[in-house]
Amino acid sequence: MKLGAFLILNTSLLAQLPPAAQWAATTRVQYAITPNIVYGTQNGYELRLDVYDRIDVITPQPTLIFIHGGGWVGGTKEYIVTSLLPWMAQGWNVVNVEYRLARVSLAPAAVEDCLCALRWVAKNADKYHFDLKRIVATGESAGGHLALTTGMIPESSGLARQCPGPALPAVAAIIDWFGVSDVDDLLEGPNERDYAVAWLGSRPDRNVVARMVSPLTYVRPGLPPVFIIHGTADPTVPYSQASRLHEALDHAHVPNRLFAVANGKHGRFTAHQQIEIYTAIRGFLKENGIDPPTPAGE
């Protein structure tokens, strides 16, 4: 059921938003918001997503799949709604995805769920005006990791078997905000992180599963372009996770850019840095043939 009739974002509203949300619109855009759509049920848990669908146009629009962070152990899709606004201000359709956290199911459940959300987008493209040739996956922290796996893992991996249906659509680009690229690296040693250990649990094959859900495992020619944002002083996800991914993508001749935020921590970048980042993202998408949304009235 739709939440209200529509949402209007215009320049006067944007002026009141935090800098991260001031990816300023040049046209007025209107949205129908459909929250908490069940896109699957696993382990008795209903998986939900929210759709922000433009109603001021009737043609398929570029569509953002946004995946929240929280180390695979916390976070909600509702908490990151303001992160959607820079995209909505430009007229993107948005799908805001939740997934099973570690307390519900350990890895690889979150990866499987996000692939199923991608398949749901394919199934519902006509209903919600999703342009399947212009799907961008993005997320922050664990969401950045899941955006990478959603855009990089092939159907042949079998990780989308829990939701049979049409072929997984190709993701046009991935925007990775300080995500993990090598989960195995975080399970022990100098880069060990509690959240990664919790996501894999005590299973005896945890290193095998960690590699199965690591984006670095799937680097190969022909992947979608990848834009990586990472603070060089990130204490939560080591910067090496970004630099190693960047090097591997370069080696495979995959278009990519690493936007290193000097002395940046785990997000919470300055207003100036965020303006620079969003400007660079827009240029990167344009350079890689992802056309902007259709202005209202065209």
Q: Is the pLDDT of residue 286 over 60?
A: yes
Mean pLDDT of 133-137: 98
Give tens-digit pLDDT for 184-230. 999 999 999 999 999 999 999 999 999 999 999 999 999 999 999 99
Q: Residues 66, 95: contact at Cβ < 8 Å? A: yes
| Token couple for 296 | 């209202």
What confidence tens digit (pLDDT) does each residue in 263-279 have? 999 998 999 999 999 99
pLDDT band, very low/low/confident/very high, at 249 (cuts 50, 70, 90): very high
179's tokens: 């995500």
From CA 221, how far away is CA 264, in angstroms rounded? 30
Instruction: Indicate whether 8 pLDDT > 70.
Output: no
- Give residue for tokens 């209007």: 8
Q: Is the pLDDT of residue 262 over 50?
A: yes
The answer to whether the CB of 210 falls within 8 A of the CB of 239 is: no
User: Rounded to the nearest 10 degrees, how much is the dihedral formed by the CA atoms of 231, 143, 291, 166?
Assistant: 150
Per-chain mean pLDDT for the chain = 91
Q: What residues contact 64, with CB distance under 8 A and at least 6 apart?
A: 84, 87, 92, 93, 94, 95, 135, 136, 137, 138
Output DSSP code: residue 81.
G
pLDDT of residue 2: 55
Q: What is the pLDDT of residue 87?
A: 95
Decide if pLDDT at 260 tops 90: yes
Whole-number pLDDT of residue 15:
43
SS3 content of the chain, % helix, strand, coil (to 5): 35, 20, 45
Q: How far does Cα 108 stand from its chain's mean position?
A: 17
Residue-wise pLDDT tens digits, 39-59: 999 999 999 999 999 999 999
Can you give the pLDDT at residue 30? 92
pLDDT of residue 79: 95
Cα–Cα dist 80/78, whole Å: 6
Residue 13 predicted with pLDDT over 90? no
pLDDT over threshold 90, residue 172: yes
* Cβ-contact 185, 237 below 8 angstroms: no
Length of the chain counted residue by residue: 298
- Using CA atoms, how far residue 101 sits from 157, 167, 178, 181, 262, in Å, is 21, 25, 19, 18, 31
Residue 298: per-residue pLDDT: 54
Whether pLDDT at 96 is above 90: yes
The confidence score (pLDDT) of residue 297 equals 56
Is residue 16 scored above 90 in pLDDT? no
Contact 241, 181 (CB under 8 A): yes
CB neighbours of 275 closer than 8 A, spacing ≥ 6? Answer: 19, 22
pLDDT of residue 26: 45
- In this prediction, residue 29 carries a pLDDT of 86
- Integer CA distances (angstroms), 19 to 14, 16, 38, 286, in order: 9, 9, 32, 22
* Token pair for 205: 């094959």
The pTM of this model reads 0.92
Per CATH, the homologous superfamily of domain 7-287 is: Alpha/Beta hydrolase fold, catalytic domain (3.40.50.1820)
